[in-house]
Amino acid sequence: MDFTTAVVSFAVVAGLLTIIPGVDTALVLRTAVVQGRRHAFATAFGICTGALAWGAAAAAGISVLLTASRTAYTVMRVAGAIYLIYLGVMMLRDARRPKTAADVDVVPVSPWRAFARGLTTNLLNPKVGVFYVAMLPQFLPADVPALPMGVLLAFVHDVEAMVWFTLIIGGVGLARRWLTGSAAAAVRIRRVTDAVAGTALVALGIRLAAD
């Protein structure tokens, strides 16, 4: 497999996996609805930074420990599951809390905290590391150094993820302008989004813990 074939082949596989709904999509979607474009993009950049770190670690051989050591994987899995369940519970709490129209436009966290939330969510998901450990060796040409090639493939994955997240955030922006003609509608949309995203994150956290 030459360099070009490796990059294109990996891009196809990673692109298909990117659009499968999961933790990252749920988190960006909820942030876009509740906090707006700026915070949603900050969350997306945090997620992609975490993925890039996992890709570099896998290429350097660090995250192989996750597949070689049951204890290391278990610790990461439990930590990630607890964090996802925590995020989900906080969203479900917000969905049940009474809201007024003024609450819809309030941004409770800074974009940097949104970035940190996305980064932490990704770094505490051991499946991301296992994905890169399993996938990268199949797309590393023999005549190319493993570390820069692995980082490049992780960057390709990040670019695809940002395109996907941009489509989601843009779609949410259009939907908000169309659906939030009244303050009451805005409150309902926010509560429904919190409930759906919170339930999804709790379910994903439980699934990760029981995996």
Phi/psi at 71 (5° precision): -65, -45
pTM of the model: 0.73
Residue-wise pLDDT for 87-123, tens only, equals 778 778 877 765 544 444 444 468 899 999 999 988 8
Tokens of 89: 């519970």
Residue-wise pLDDT for 25-59, tens only, equals 888 988 888 888 899 999 999 999 999 998 888 88
Q: What integer pLDDT is reported at residue 205 of this predicted model?
A: 75
